[in-house]
């Protein structure tokens, strides 16, 4: 919401402020007026907000990108701005799941649906994009991890995939980017340095740990490769920003939060994902055939 609507809603302030510095202030109590201005502008220009009523604690935003104004959005190309409205995508943005909840939510999202006449429709998904925070084993807080596989700890389940995001895509001043496998753990409190050191230094090539990746990818591969309810060549993007390094003293979750360190990687990942979604809608990489 901030990346798409913030530049217009806060246009006057951005003339005299750095964009990242201004966005960093949005989480402060004193910035409520700015947050409200962005949300009001977003709701009037293509965004809908679905408050969770199911007990999952996962709220949803839906963006009709044909209704957004893009003149002040730096990562939006001219070709996307000038493209036909009916070619612009709809974005469904889901809040963070927790652990195995990720499988259930993604599995439900990707299922076919029936219209009022009982006709079954397959979901016309173009891409699935996962961003989150994770523990890093090869870097520091605020770094970015780009995985090419999820290793499900304690099982024989491994999920390699082609990540449409690369180190080069996310490399920017002041942020280190690493690539490799991620291990999906059952819980952060169940880990110890010896186990994590094994994953890091062995041929598993693990660069970080989190709790949802394997569950998301399991649902995606089931829908695309087995159930065929979405395109089998669907674009997938994963990127994580580092909240801690459990192998380093003073860099663990117990040592404190990210603070403003997390602002830049969050927006770098978000805006690169949005940029690629826009590029692909102008020149699609995959067909809609299943």
pLDDT, position 126: 94
Average pLDDT, the chain: 90
pLDDT at 249: 60
Overall residue count recorded for the chain in this entry: 290
Which of the pair, 249 or 36, is modelled with greater confidence?
A: 36
For residue 27, the model assigns a pLDDT of: 82
Same-domain status, 80 and 138: no
- The answer to whether residue 67 is domain-embedded is yes
- 41 & 146 share domain: no
DSSP 59-103: -EEEEETTSS--TT-TT--HHHHTS-GGGS-EEEEEPPP-TTHHH
- Check pLDDT > 80 for residue 103: yes
Q: What local confidence, expressed as pLDDT, does residue 110 receive?
A: 96
Judged by DSSP in three states, 221 sits in helix
Largest CA distance in the chain: 60
The pLDDT of residue 21 is 86
Is the per-residue pLDDT at 288 higher than 80? Answer: no
Looking at the fold, whether 84 and 131 belong to one and the same domain comes out as: no
The answer to whether 69 and 81 are in contact (CB under 8 A) is: no
Q: pTM to 2 decimals?
A: 0.91
Q: Let me know whether 78 and 132 are in one domain.
A: no
- Please check whether residue 191 lies inside any domain of the structure: yes
Q: Give whole-number Cα distances, 42 to 9, 131, 160, in Å.
A: 9, 21, 36
Q: Kindly state the average pLDDT of the residues 113-134.
A: 92
Q: Average the pLDDT over each of 12-21, 57-66, 243-252 and give the range with the smallest value.
A: 243-252
Q: List helix spans (H) across the chain.
A: 2-9, 11-14, 19-24, 32-43, 78-81, 101-109, 167-170, 193-201, 213-221, 263-282
Residues 219-238 pLDDT 10s: 999 999 999 999 999 999 99
Q: Domain residues for 25? A: 1-95
pLDDT in tens, 237-272: 999 999 999 888 655 555 555 566 778 899 999 999
> What is the structure's pLDDT at 222?
96
The CATH number assigned to the domain holding 154 equals: 3.40.50.1580
Domain assignment present for residue 116? The answer is: no
pLDDT (tens digit per residue) in 45-61: 999 999 999 888 999 99
Alpha-carbon distance of 201 to 195, in angstroms, equals 10
pLDDT at 255: 54
Question: Is residue 200 pLDDT above 70, yes or no?
Answer: yes
**Average pLDDT estimate for 204-217:** 96
- 56 and 185 in a single domain? The answer is no
What's the Cα-to-Cα distance from 84 to each of 54, 66, 88, 273, 282, rounded to whole Å? 36, 8, 7, 21, 9
Q: How many domains does the chain have?
A: 2
Q: What is the pLDDT of residue 260?
A: 64
């Amino acid at each position: 919401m901030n990346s798409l609507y913030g530049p217009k809603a806060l246009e006057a302030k951005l003339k005299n402020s750095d964009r990242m510095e201004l966005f960093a202030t949005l989480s402060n109590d004193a910035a409520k007026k700015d947050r409200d201005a962005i949300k009001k502008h977003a709701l009037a220009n293509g965004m809908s907000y679905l408050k969770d009523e199911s007990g999952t604690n996962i709220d949803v935003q839906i963006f009709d990108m044909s209704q957004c104004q893009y003149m002040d959005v730096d990562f939006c190309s001219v070709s996307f701005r000038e493209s036909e409205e009916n070619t612009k995508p709809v974005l469904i943005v889901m809040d963070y799941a927790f652990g195995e909840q990720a499988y259930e939510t993604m599995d439900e999202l990707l299922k076919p649906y029936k219209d009022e006449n009982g006709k079954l429709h397959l979901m016309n998904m173009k891409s699935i994009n996962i961003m989150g925070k994770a523990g890093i084993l090869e870097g520091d807080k605020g770094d970015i991890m780009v995985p090419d596989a999820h290793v499900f700890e304690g099982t024989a389940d491994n999920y390699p995939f082609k990540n449409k995001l690369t180190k080069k895509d996310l490399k920017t001043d002041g942020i280190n980017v690493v690539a490799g496998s991620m291990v999906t753990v059952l819980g952060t409190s169940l880990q110890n340095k010896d186990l994590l050191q094994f994953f890091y230094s062995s041929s598993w090539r693990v660069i970080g740990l989190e709790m949802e990746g394997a569950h998301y990818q399991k649902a995606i591969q089931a829908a695309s490769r087995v159930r065929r309810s979405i395109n089998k060549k669907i674009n997938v993007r994963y990127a994580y920003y580092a909240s801690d390094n459990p192998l380093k003293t003073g860099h663990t979750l117990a040592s404190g939060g990210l603070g403003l360190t997390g602002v830049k990687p969050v927006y770098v990942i978000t805006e690169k994902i949005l940029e690629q979604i826009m590029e692909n809608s102008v020149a699609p990489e995959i067909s809609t055939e299943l």
